Amino acid sequence: GPAGIWMLMHYNQGGLITFDSKKGRWKQKGGNLYLKLFGQEGLGRPDLDLSAALADLEKYLAKKIKNDELPPIHCALVFSNEKADVQAADAPYPTLPIKKLKEFIRRKAKEASIPPEKVTALQVLLPQG
Pairing state of beta strands 25-29 and 5-11? unpaired
Q: Is residue 95 over pLDDT 60?
A: yes
User: pLDDT band at residue 111, thresholds of 50, 70 and 90?
Assistant: confident
The highest-confidence range among 3-7, 16-20, 105-109, by mean pLDDT, is 16-20
Q: Which residue has the higher pLDDT, 66 or 74?
A: 74
For the segment 39-46, the average pLDDT, to the nearest whole number, is 73
pLDDT digits (tens, 9 = 90+) for 7-25: 899 998 889 999 999 999 9
Whole-angstrom distance, CA of residue 46 vs CA of residue 26: 7
Q: What is the mean pLDDT of residues 49-69?
A: 86
State mean pLDDT over 36-44: 66
Strand partners, 57: none
How buried is 26 (Cβ within 10 angstroms: 0-12 exposed, 13-18 middle, 19+ buried)?
A: buried
For residues 121 and 129, what is the distance between their CA atoms, to the nearest angstrom?
Answer: 17
Phi, psi of 65 (to 5 degrees): -125, 140
Tell me, what's the pLDDT at 39? 58
Burial of 108 (0-12, 13-18, 19+ CB in 10 A): middle
